[in-house]
A and B are shown apart, each in its own frame.
Chain A
Amino acid sequence: MNALREILALLHLYSQQFKTTFASMVQYRISLFIWMISQILEPLVYLIVWSTVSNSSGGSVGGYTARGFAAYYLVLMLVNQFTYTWIMWEYEYRVRQGLLSFALLKPVHPIHSDISDNLSSKIITLPILMFVAAGLALIFKPTAAFNWWAGLVFIPALILAFLVRFLIEWTLALAAFWTTRVNAINQVYFILMLFLAGQIAPLTLFPHWLQIVADILPFRWMLGFPVELLLGRLSHAQALLGLVAQFTWVIISLVLIRVIWRAGVRVYSAVGA
């Protein structure tokens, strides 16, 4: 009964946060627009580069044709949009400006307002990006070996990818408790993300040893895995293994958050809030 009441209260909080996020976002239509352009341009550049490479090397690179790359990058654009967070940039500001003090005064864990704020902004931006992706599909004519089971498994894979990425980035953002130079950490993280999540190229184009590294680290499970899954490039066994890996990373990051959050708040409340 109590658990149910807790869940209802959280859902209520999430829906109210949606209204707040929505109201804030429409205040900044222009910057929102510019930010969306950058979200579109990055995969678009890789798409154009790889299509050109593929066309000039006999129509295919590592099993991807130009149209195959088109499918990969259009889906990547959408999955990236769905799993993207900006929390690592924001936390340092919060700690430095003392905004975290207000969050700590509230009788609810601050992660909830971040999750709901993130989800809310996605609900708002995703339809626009899907529209853009549909337009780009008319130009680049993507093809993929889509199948129904993969389409079904894609949904939990996408949600888990969001959770892994959100929880890991929220944990890393907590570095702001210990240092004000979080930018260095963020840079390293984004470079790893670029290579090991499948952003700069599909992971199957990399040497075998690097693919093993990517399987062990969390990055692939935040982005590349659901993309490959939806495009029908994974076997049943690979799909199942992926879900298990994602689930494991969710558990690991939940444990990390618990430990690091407590330690971080202790530091914050020791040096001055």
Chain B
Amino acid sequence: MTEPAIHLHELCKTYRVPERESGMGAALKSLFHRRMKDIKAVDGLTFDLNPGEIVGFLGPNGAGKTTTLKMLSGLLHPTGGEGTVLGSIPWKRERAFLRQITLVMGQRNQLVWDIPAADSFELNRVIYRLSPTDFRHTLNELTELLELGPLLKKPVRNLSLGERMKCEIAAALLHRPQVVFLDEPTIGLDVTMQRRIRAFIAEYNRRSGATVLLTSHYMADVAALCKRVIVIHHGRLLFDGDLSALVQQFTAHKTIVVQLEDCHADLHTYGEVINCEDGRFTLRVPKAQTAHVTERLLADLPVIDLLVEDPPIEEVIDQVFTQEAA
């Protein structure tokens, strides 16, 4: 049994925030007496990641994903529980630890705005004390994988959002971290760029064997990269396991797509009709009845084509969260 790369045990983070009602009177009152409110952002998370795993970290806005990533990268001090990353306690922020991890925040930039990315990369080289040979080797590799060639010499402010993100990711990986935290790395990017970054993350993981913990609102990212997902809601663990098992566990339905001649047939006795376009019916059927309904459809109707599918992953996730809220 290998040592886990990331280990969390009952990790908690409670923020104390001043609570204030709106209005003049409340404003005056808060001058003298501040009422504080506790907000549990992370409420007892326990999970392990093995070295080399890519894991999707999912949850709606405010679920505690970013807070968890910040604790694991040493930016936030937890209010309870334990956590280790590569055997170190992150919030001690020891130099040896910081040299082995990275955090990419899709909505924040570390590159100096006014100068070319190549200059910021050089500065990172010195900060992380990389040998010129290693640095050149890594930079060449990243340049090739992310197609950075023409971007490196331009001032960062002249780059498009996608180009800047590619440079941000490169800057974060120059020191070849063994643990990579990615917080919404594809946010705001177009589909092509998302796909490219996704492919890069997979390739980087394959080449370097780094452990990757990734949050994303784009389920395509998660579906393409992560065999395993961890789902949290209100700071608590909802699910930890294979993406396919998540679908199994949280969906009681399957989708059957039946191609008929036209939309005139009435199929409501077979299942819930979601829509019909050009004779292509989409039905929602309880999972247990799928085989039976399929059989009946094929026997009763002039079926041209038939397809049984799991509902799209977005829908599953949506269901997970609404179930939890109910």
Interface residues of A (CB under 8 A from B): 9, 12-13, 16-17, 19-20, 23-24, 27-28, 97-99, 101-102, 104-108, 266, 269-273
**A244 to B: closest C-beta gap in Å:** 35
B306 at the interface (CB under 8 A from A): no
Q: In the bound complex, do residue B77 and residue A266 qualify as a contact, i.e. CB atoms below 8 Å apart?
A: yes
Show 30 A/B contacts (Cβ-Cβ < 8 Å), sorted by A: A9-B126, A9-B129, A17-B123, A19-B122, A20-B115, A23-B114, A23-B119, A24-B114, A27-B114, A101-B70, A101-B75, A101-B103, A101-B105, A101-B108, A102-B108, A104-B75, A105-B73, A105-B74, A105-B98, A107-B95, A107-B99, A107-B127, A108-B95, A269-B75, A269-B77, A270-B15, A270-B77, A271-B15, A271-B17, A272-B15
Q: Which residue of A lies closest to B111 (CB)?
A: A102
Report B93-117 CB contacts with A as 1/0, cut-off 8 Å: 1011011011101001010101110
Q: Which residues of B contact A27 (CB under 8 A)?
A: 114-115, 155
Cα-based distance from A19 to B122 in the complex (angstroms): 10
Q: In the bound complex, do residue B127 and residue A20 qualify as a contact, i.e. CB atoms below 8 Å apart?
A: no
Q: Which residue of A lies closest to B113 (CB)?
A: A24
**With A24-B112, A24-B114, A271-B15 in contact, do A105 and B77 touch (Cβ < 8 Å)?**
no
Of the listed residues B93, B116, B126, the one surrounded by the most CB atoms of chain A closer than 10 A to its CB is: B126
Main secondary structure of the interface of A (DSSP, over half): helix
Cα-based distance from A85 to B99 in the complex (angstroms): 30
Cα-based distance from A241 to B122 in the complex (angstroms): 44
Q: Tell which of B73, B115, B122 touches A24, judged by Cβ atoms closer than 8 Å.
A: B115
A9-B129, A23-B114, A107-B127 known; 11 other A-B pairs, CB under 8 Å?
Answer: A16-B122, A16-B126, A24-B112, A98-B108, A101-B70, A102-B108, A105-B74, A269-B75, A272-B70, A272-B76, A273-B70
B294 at the interface (CB under 8 A from A): no
Q: Nearest 3 pairs between A and B by C-beta?
A: A107-B95, A107-B98, A273-B75
B91 at the interface (CB under 8 A from A): yes
Q: In the bound complex, do residue B123 and residue A20 qualify as a contact, i.e. CB atoms below 8 Å apart?
A: yes
Interface residues of B (CB under 8 A from A): 15-17, 67, 70, 73-77, 91, 93, 95-96, 98-99, 101-103, 105, 108, 110, 112, 114-116, 119-120, 122-123, 125-129, 155
Cα-based distance from A102 to B103 in the complex (angstroms): 9
Q: Which residues of B contact A102 (CB under 8 A)?
A: 108, 110
Cα-based distance from A31 to B116 in the complex (angstroms): 20
Cα-based distance from A98 to B129 in the complex (angstroms): 24
